[in-house]
Amino acid sequence: MNKIIRKIEELEEWRRHLKSDINFIPTMGNLHYGHQKLISTAKSSNCNINLVSIFVNPLQFDSKKDLKSYPKTVDKDIEIAFSTGTDVIFIPNTIDIYPPNNKSISYLKASKELSSALCGITRKGHFDGVCTVIYRLLKLIQPKNLYLGEKDWQQLLILKNLVSEKKLNINILSIPTQRDSDGIPFSSRNNLLSKNEKTIVKFFSNELVHSQKVFKKDKKIELNQIIKKLQSKNISIEYLEHLNAYSLKKVQKEDNISILAGAIKCGKTRLIDHVFLMKRNPIIAIDGPAGSGKSTITKLIAKKLKFLYLDTGAMYRALSWLLIKEKIDYNEKSELNKILSNVSIIFKTNSISHQDVFINKFCVTEEIRSQKISSIVSKISSIKEIRDFLVKEQRKIGESGGLVAEGRDIGSTVFPDAEIKIYLTASIEERAKRRKSELDIRGSKEIDFNQLKELIRKRDLDDSTREISPLTKAKGAIELITDGYSINEVVEKIINIYNFKIPKEIQIE
């Protein structure tokens, strides 16, 4: 379908009769490779209709001169948009988007916290204008997915905040910043640069990318030195800041993902660029009560994201195996401490879907699932020395991130700084139903449904009232109640949470 819509009435009429979902890609035209990548990414993600809007929004320009000089190339844009996978192009007029004296148009304010940093400091009202136009377009188009570039990271954060504040049922998906072969991010404003100015922008962008490499190695950057280096090339810096990537507040020691973001002025043209800095890869912590489906779901997420699956339960089981093998009396502290000082537990992936557990070089993957181990592991895991030891080991494994861990105390104790914390649960009724069908498959008739419910209730109480690391919903955890959802639906929900939070640019490929 190749369709151009210019009038709002026409858009509304078309929308009323449309049966498919829409991927919406808002742009201000003068399409370049960054826009093309957004359009083609949306096209290849699903079978939805791809709708691109071209509208130079006057509300987000703080100067009339800037608005006037913004490159406008509609005929070429139409050609590019259709050839990269656009189905419908919406090209409204300013008067239609902002009809004068129309009280039904909401003029919005952007989040104060997010818009009072970086570009918001000098571009007063800019993000209010962005929110106003995007909200107006979202209301008209009613898309399922909104595709945005991480190139405008502050804008992306502000629009995510807008969508959640207005409780719009829209997914926001993003793509990494697309750069030219010389390292400069594609931008419509690049067309306004002279050859000389381009050299300056190239130096600025390459310096940011270089700082990212330095950070990867040293886990720190010297902001003042970078500023001095840029100034030595006569680059006019509006700002250069190292901030928490989500709050846009000054970066703190404990922050894992941060951004180094800058704006420079090149002649009359203002350009922005940023890089993400990350101390370790992201961590996903999944906690929840017994029978909530944690293991199955965690394993599938690890496979999908190519993350390490940290099965903390297997570590407690492996240690139980060793204590039995070495005939250790674990109530005897000196004996216990002696063996703990000599334990190494590692996970090795032997194929894409299978992970072996080794303790002191013994592969114990199968043996730790025996009834003998199951009967003592709960006792072993309530011993403080053992918990302290294994929590330390788990943190060691998680040092470079890129892992999804499941347990009872992952988000609260082991990785309180995990980027994604999930509290996976289901009603007692649902968990008993799941357990019952597992038992039925095995032909076991020892226990009836009501007894199962009672056992689960008791286990929940034990887990949540025990002294060491009780089961609780960690601070910042998202609760997922899985009643009525299939395993794949829950996995998809968690992957969506991950994609929403972690910039595509720093996701492990």
Phi, psi dihedral angles at 261 (to 5 degrees): -125, 140
Q: Which is nearer to ligand AMP, 188 or 258 (CB)?
A: 188
Helix/strand/coil for 44:
helix
Q: Does 185 help bind ligand AMP (rule: CB under 6 A)?
A: yes
Residue 498 and residue 509: Cα distance in Å, rounded?
14
Closest by CA to 216, choosing from 169, 266, 278, is 278
Helix (H) or strand (E) holding 52: strand 49-54
Q: Where are the alpha helices (DSSP H) in 233-311?
A: 294-305
Q: Does 200 help bind ligand AMP (rule: CB under 6 A)?
A: no
Q: Which is nearer to ligand AMP, 158 or 422 (CB)?
A: 158
35 assigned to active site: yes
Q: Does 28 help bind ligand AMP (rule: CB under 6 A)?
A: yes
Q: Does 27 help bind ligand AMP (rule: CB under 6 A)?
A: yes
Q: Does 151 help bind ligand AMP (rule: CB under 6 A)?
A: yes
Q: Does 38 help bind ligand AMP (rule: CB under 6 A)?
A: yes
Q: Does 149 help bind ligand AMP (rule: CB under 6 A)?
A: yes
Which of the stretches 93-101, 149-157, 298-306, 345-353 binds ligand AMP when contact is defined by CB under 6 A?
Answer: 149-157
Select the residue interacting with ligand AMP from 5, 35, 316, 430 (CB under 6 A). Answer: 35
Q: Which is nearer to ligand AMP, 175 or 422 (CB)?
A: 175
| 101 phi-psi bin (left φ>0, alpha ψ -120 to 50, beta other) | left
CB burial readout 2-25, b (16+ within 10 A) else e: eeebeebeebeeebeeeeeebbbb
Task: Please give the residue whose beta carbon sits closest to ligand AMP in the complex.
Answer: 149
Q: Which is nearer to ligand AMP, 131 or 386 (CB)?
A: 131
Q: Does 175 help bind ligand AMP (rule: CB under 6 A)?
A: yes
Q: Does 143 help bind ligand AMP (rule: CB under 6 A)?
A: no
Q: Does 187 help bind ligand AMP (rule: CB under 6 A)?
A: yes
Enter the DSSP assignment of 484: T
What are 121's two structure tokens? 């400091």
Smallest distance from ligand AMP to CB 58, Å: 13
Q: State how far the alpha carbon of 344 is from the alpha carbons of 260, 358, 402, in Å.
A: 38, 8, 20
Q: Does 148 help bind ligand AMP (rule: CB under 6 A)?
A: yes
Residue 114 and residue 95: Cα distance in Å, rounded?
29
Q: Which is nearer to ligand AMP, 78 or 405 (CB)?
A: 78
End-to-end CA distance of the chain: give it in Å, rounded.
33
- Contacts with ligand AMP by CB under 6 A lie at 27-28, 34-35, 38, 148-149, 151-152, 175, 177-178, 185-188
List, by residue number, the catalytic residues.
35
